[in-house]
Amino acid sequence: MNKAQKDYLKAKAAHEAIEKLIAKIEADYIKANGIKNADGTIPAKSWMIDDESAFEKMMVDLENELNACEIGIAYEALKKTEDALIRYGLSLIQKVKDVEKVQNVLLGKKAIYAYRQKWIELTMKVPAYCF
């Protein structure tokens, strides 16, 4: 594995760990406060809470704890390593006629998420010793 691939895997693991922690914090809060939707279901995530006031109270109550998780920082780090991995993959196909169009689809302001993820998946399969 090359550096871009290793950095991406580290950032992805860190981001996923934070998402998991946030999900646990939310689930624990929902359970501890007996939050239920009108149909009697217990929401698994904060965004599944139907009662807007319960959602808002939860966000206020958990603000410090959720901010401490630094999900935004982890997301930015993940995005940065995704971009580096995409650039690495693109460097492997520099002879493609419309490489600039491909770069815009993967790295431009209107990058398409599904294409980015597929490119990352493909690039992760390239052994470092190949190039």
Q: For residue 46, what is the DSSP state?
A: G
Q: Are residues 28 and 60 in the same domain?
A: yes
Find the distance separating the first CA and the last CA of the chain, reported in whole Å: 11
Q: Are residues 30 and 62 in the same domain?
A: yes
Q: Are residues 22 and 49 in the same domain?
A: yes
Residue 130 has pLDDT above 70, yes or no: no
Q: Are residues 81 and 123 in the same domain?
A: yes
In this predicted structure, what is the pLDDT of residue 87?
Answer: 86
Among residues 34, 52, 72, the one where a domain terminates is 72
Q: Are residues 50 and 81 in the same domain?
A: no
- The region of weakest confidence among 20-29, 65-74, 122-131 is 122-131
Q: For residue 41, what is the DSSP state?
A: P
Mean pLDDT of 104-128: 79
Residue 127 has pLDDT above 90, yes or no: no
pLDDT band at 117 (very low <50, low <70, confident <90, very high): confident
Residue 131 has pLDDT above 60, yes or no: no
Compute CA distances 126 → 22, 44, 55, 120, whole Å.
33, 37, 44, 10
Residue 129 has pLDDT above 60, yes or no: no
Residue that wins the pLDDT comparison between 107 and 77: 77
Mean pLDDT of 98-114: 76
> By residue range, what is the domain housing residue 44?
3-72
Among residues 43, 72, 101, the one where a domain terminates is 72
Residue that wins the pLDDT comparison between 6 and 96: 6
The structural domain count of the chain equals 2
Q: Are residues 29 and 48 in the same domain?
A: yes
Q: Are residues 82 and 126 in the same domain?
A: yes
Among residues 72, 87, 112, the one where a domain terminates is 72
Share of the chain above pLDDT 90, in %: 59
Category of 95 on φ-ψ map: left (φ > 0), alpha (ψ -120 to 50) or beta: alpha
Of 39, 68, 67, nearest in space to 51 by CA: 39
